[in-house]
Amino acid sequence: MRGQVVWVTGASSGIGEHLAVDLARHGAKLVLSARREDQLDRVKDKCLEGSPVLRSEDVLVLPLDVTKFDTHQAAFDKVINHFGCLDVLVSNAGRSQRCAWEEAELEVDRRVLELNVLAVVSLTRVALRYFLRRGGGHVAVTSSLAGVEGVPFSCSYTGSKHALHGYFNSLRNEKMGSNLTVTILCPGPVFTNFLSESFTGKVDQKFGESARPTDKRMSAERCAHLCAVALANKLDEVWMAPRPILPLIYLFRYYPTIGRALFKFLGPKYLLKLRDSRQTVEAE
Per-residue pLDDT reduced to its tens digit, 119-129 = 999 999 999 99
Mean pLDDT of the chain: 92
Tell me whether residue 242 is in a domain: yes
Tell me whether residue 189 is in a domain: yes
Q: How far apart are CA 256 and CA 261, in angstroms?
A: 8
Number of domains in the chain: 1
pLDDT greater than 60 at residue 283: no
Tell me whether residue 281 is in a domain: no
Give backbone dihedrals phi and psi of 76, rounded to 5 degrees, phi first: -60, -40
Q: What confidence tens digit (pLDDT) does each residue in 217-275 have?
A: 889 999 999 999 999 999 999 999 988 889 999 999 999 999 889 888 888 877 777 76
pLDDT score at 282:
64
pLDDT score at 216:
76
Tell me whether residue 283 is in a domain: no
- Let me know if 135 is exposed, middle or buried by CB neighbors in 10 A (0-12, 13-18, 19+): exposed
Q: Which of 54, 53, 20 is nearest to 34 (CA)?
A: 20
pLDDT greater than 60 at residue 45: yes
Tell me whether residue 57 is in a domain: yes
| pTM, two decimal places | 0.92
CATH code of the domain containing 136: 3.40.50.720
Q: What is the mean pLDDT of residues 97-102?
A: 90
Tell me whether residue 198 is in a domain: yes
pLDDT above 70 coverage of the chain, percent: 93
Tell me whether residue 221 is in a domain: yes
Tell me whether residue 226 is in a domain: yes
Task: Given the residues 157, 167, 250, 254, select the one marked as catalytic.
Answer: 157
- 270 assigned to active site: no
| Domain assignment of residue 210, given as a range | 5-276
Going by pLDDT thresholds of 50, 70 and 90, the confidence category of residue 205 is: confident
